[in-house]
Structure 1
Amino acid sequence: MASPCRIYGRTAELAAVAALSDRLRPRQGGALLLVAEPGLGRSALLAWAGDEFRLGPVLRPRPLTGEPRPYDGMRALLCAAAERRGSAPPPAAFGAVRPAGPPELHRLTGLPELPELPELLRQYVPEEEPLLVCVDDVHLWDAPSRALLGSAARRPDPARPIGILLSVAEHRSDDPDIAGLPVVRFGPLDDCAATALLRDLTGGVLDPSVRSELLSEAEGNPAVLTALAQRLTPDQLGGHRPLPRPLVDGGSLWATFGGRLAPLPSATRQFLLLAAAAHEPDPDAAGADAALVLRAARAAGLGPAAPDPAEAARLVHHDGDRITFTGSLLRRTVYTAAPSSQRRAAHALLASAIDADRHRLRHLLHLALAAQGPDAALAAGLVAASAPGTPTSGMERSAALSRAAELTNQEDVRTARLTAAADYARLAGHTRRARRLLAATREGASPDTVHGRTELVRGSMALRDGPVGDAYQALLMAAERLDPSDAEAALEARMEAMDAAWAAGDPVACLAALAEPPALTGAPRPSPPQDPRRDYSDYRAGLRTALDGHPAEAAPPLRRVLDRARDDDDPVRLMRAGVAALVLGDIPAACRANARALAVSRSRGLASLTPRILEHLAYAELRAGQHARAGSHAQEGLRAAHRAGQRNIAAGQHAILALVASVEDDAAAVAAHAGAAVEIARPHGLLQAVTLAEWASARADLCRGRPFEAAARLGPLTRPGPGRGHFAVRMLALPCFVEAAVRSGASAEARVAVEEFARWTAQGVDPQAPAQLARCRALVAPPDDTADALFALALTRHQAVHGDFERARTQLLYGKWLRRRRRPAEAKNRLRDALVAFEHCGAPAWAEQTRGELRATGDTPAPVPAGGLAVLTPQQLRIARRVAEGATNREVALSLSVSPRTVDHHLRNVFALLGVRSRTELSRLVDRAERDGAQP
Structure 2
Amino acid sequence: MGGEADVDRLLTDADAPRSLLVIGEPGSGKTRLLRIAARRATAQGARVLAARACPSEARESYACLHQLLLPVRDECEALAEDERRVFQGLFAACAAPPRDRDLATAVLALLAHLARSGPVLLAVDDLQDCDRASAAVLAFVARRLTGRAVTALFTACGDTPPPGLPADIAVRSLRPLSPKAAARLVDAQPGAPTGRARLELLRRAAGNPLAVIELSRAADRPGRIPRAVAASVDALPEDTRRALLYAALTEPQEELAVLMAALGTDDLRVWAPAEAAGLVTVADGRVVFRNALTRLAALQRQPAKLRQQACRDLAARSVHRAGYLATAAVGPDESVAAALEEAADRADRFTAARALERAAQLSPRAVDRVRRLTAALTAASDLGDPEWVRELYAALAEACPGAAGSGAAVRALSGALSLQSYQREAFDLVMGVVPLTDDPSMLLGLAAAVARQSGLPEHWREVGRAAGVHADDVLASLTARASAAPGSSRPVQLLAAASLAHRTDESDRCAEQYRQAGELLRAEGALGPLAWALPDQVDALLGLGRWAEAESLIEEGLDHAAVHRWTRVELDLQALRTTLRALRGESDPGTAVAGPDGRSVSLHENRATHARMLRAGGLTALALGDAEGAFRQLRTLFADDGEPLDPFLSPRCVAELAVAAHRTGRQREAAHVLARVRHRQGDRPTTRMTLLMHHAAALVDEDADPEHHFQLAVVNSEAAHWPLERALARLDLARWLRRRRRPLEARAQLTVVLETAVRLGARQLAESARGELRASGVAEAPAAEHPLAELTAQQRQIVRLAAKGLSNREIGEQLFLSPRTVGSHLYNVYPKLGVSSRHQLRDLLVCEK
TM-score range, shorter chain: 0.7 to 0.9
Q: Distance in 2 between matches of 1:225 and 1:751?
A: 55
Deviation at 1:453, TM superposition (A): 3.9
From 54, 71, 74, the counterpart of 2:62: 71
Match of 2:6 among 3, 16, 31: 16
The corresponding residue for 1:322 is 286
Hey, what does 1:364 align to over in structure 2?
322
| Per-residue CA distance 1:543-594 (angstroms, 9 max, x = gap) | x43x34x69xx87x689679979x9961012111122233444333323332
Q: Answer yes or no: is 1:271 the counterpart of 2:204.
A: no
C-alpha distance in 2 between matches for 1:716 and 1:122:
63
The 1:730–1:461 alpha-carbon spacing in structure 2 relative to 1, beyond 3 Å, is same
Contact kept in structure 1, 2:585 and 2:623, CA below 8 Å: yes
Shift of 1:712: 0.3
Moved more, 639-648 or 264-273: 639-648
Equivalent position amino acid for 2:245 in 1: L
- Per the TM alignment, residue 480 of structure 1 is displaced from its structure 2 partner at its CA by 5.8
Paired residue total: 812
- Structure 1 residue 870: Cα displacement: 7.8
Query: What is the Cα deviation at residue 707 of structure 1?
Result: 1.8
Is the counterpart of residue 346 in structure 1 residue 310 in structure 2?
A: yes
- Deviations along 1:781-817, one digit per CA (max 9) or x if unpaired, are 449x922232223222355542221111111111222
Counterpart Cα distance in 2 of 1:49 and 1:662: 35
User: Which residue in 2 is equivalent to 1:145?
Assistant: 134
Q: CA deviation at 1:656?
A: 3.1
Distance in structure 1 (CA, Å) of the matches to 2:738 and 2:127: 69
Q: What per-residue deviation string (whole Å, max 9, x for no partner) do you get for residues 294-339 of structure 1?
A: 11111xx684311233344454344444333344454344335544
Length-normalised TM-score, structure 1: 0.75
Distance in 2 separating the partners of 1:404 and 1:297:
27
Where does residue 156 of structure 1 map in the other structure? Answer: 144
Tell me how far apart the structure 1 counterparts of residues 325 and 200 of structure 2 sit (CA, whole Å).
30
Task: Provide the rounded CA distance (Å) in 1 between the counterparts of 2:288 and 2:61.
Answer: 36
Q: Which runs of 5 or more structure 2 residues have no equivalent in the other structure?
A: 79-86, 812-826
In the alignment, structure 1 residue 473 sits paired with structure 2 residue 428? yes
Distance 2:676 2:779 in 1: 40
1:186-225 map, 5 Å:
186-189=174-177, 216=202, 221-224=208-211
Please state whether the residue corresponding to 1:165 is helix, strand or coil: strand
Alignment check: 8 A CA contact 1:156 1:162 kept: no
Does the 8 Å CA contact 1:61/1:80 hold for their aligned counterparts? no
> 1:493, CA displacement in angstroms?
3.3
RMSD (Å) for aligned C-alpha atoms: 4.7
What is the rounded CA distance, in whole Å, between the counterparts of 1:680 and 1:424 in structure 2?
27
Deviation of residue 759 (structure 1)? 2.8
Match of 2:262 among 273, 285, 296: 296
1:159-212 CA-partner distances (Å, limit 9, x unpaired): 99532211112267444457653211223445776788789877xx99999998
* Partner SS state of residue 443, structure 1: helix
Correspondence for 1:249 among 211, 214, 222:
222
- CA distance in structure 2 between the partners assigned to 1:246 and 1:684 by the alignment: 37
1:853 aligns with 2:772: yes
Measure the CA separation in 2 of the matches of 1:120 and 1:844: 52
2:18 equivalent to 1:30: yes
Distance 1:89 1:601 in 2: 68
User: How much does 1:222 deviate?
Assistant: 4.2
Which residue of 2 is the match for residue 665 of structure 1?
A: 585
Of 558, 571, 587 in structure 2, the residue corresponding to residue 651 of structure 1 is 571
Q: What is the CA–CA distance in structure 2 between the aligned matches of 1:641 and 1:631, rounded to whole Å?
A: 15
Question: For 1:703-722, what aligned pairs fall within 5 Å after superposition?
Answer: 703-719=623-639
Measure how far apart 1:223 and its partner are.
3.7
Percent of counterpart pairs with the same letter?
25
CA apart distance, 1:496:
1.8
Shift of 1:843: 0.7
Report the Cα distance in structure 1 between the residues aligned to 2:197 and 2:589, rounded to whole angstroms.
25
Tell whether the 8 Å contact from 1:55 to 1:130 is kept in structure 2 after alignment. yes
1:581 aligns with 2:501: yes
Q: How does 1:596-635 map to 2 (within 5 A)?
A: 596-635=516-555
Structure-2 separation of matches of 1:824 and 1:43: 64
Equivalent residue number for residue 672 of structure 2 = 752
Deviates more, 1:264-273 or 1:663-672: 663-672
- One-letter amino acid of the structure 1 residue matched with residue 69 of structure 2: L
Instruction: Indicate the residue corresponding to 1:738 in structure 2.
Output: 658
- Aligned partners of 1:249 and 1:336 also within 8 Å: no
User: Which piece of structure 1 moves more, 135-144 or 330-339?
Assistant: 330-339
Contact residue 818 and residue 827 of structure 1 kept, 8 A: yes
> Partner of 1:787 in structure 2?
706
Q: CA deviation at 1:271?
A: 1.4
Report which stretch shifted further, 760-769 or 814-823. 760-769
SS at match of 2:625: coil
Mapped contact 1:399–1:421 kept (Cα < 8 A): yes
Q: Which moved more, 1:572-581 or 1:329-338?
A: 329-338
Cα 1:213–1:444 shift into 2, 3 Å: closer
Which residue is equivalent to 1:821?
740
Q: TM-score if structure 2 supplies the norm length?
A: 0.82
Q: Name the structure 2 match of 1:379.
A: 337
Residue 587 to residue 799, structure 1, CA distance change in 2 (3 Å): closer
The whole-number CA distance in structure 2 between the counterparts of 1:669 and 1:334 is: 53
Aligned to 1:526: none
Say whether residues 1:497 and 2:447 are aligned partners: yes
Counterpart pick for 2:122 among 113, 133, 158: 133
Displacement of 1:82: 1.9
Distance 1:788 1:645, change over 3 A: same
Q: Secondary structure at the match of 2:155?
A: strand
Task: Identify the residue that residue 901 of structure 1 maps to in structure 2.
Answer: none
SS at the partner of 1:637?
Answer: helix
Counterpart among 655, 670, 692 of residue 772 in structure 1: 692
Q: Which residue of 2 aligns with 1:182?
A: 170
Q: Deviations over 1:232-279 (max 9, x none)?
A: xxxxxxxxxxxxx9447341x435744654443332222122122122
Q: Distance in 1 between matches of 2:151 and 2:807?
A: 18
How many angstroms apart in 1 are the aligned matches of 2:76 and 2:323? 65
- 1:21 is aligned with what amino acid? L
Residue of structure 2 aligned with 1:49, choices 31, 34, 37 = 37
Deviation by residue 1:488-510 (Cα, 9 ceiling, x = unmatched): xx543332232122211124323
Equivalent position amino acid for 1:495 in 2: G
- Contact 1:761/1:773 (<8 A) preserved: no
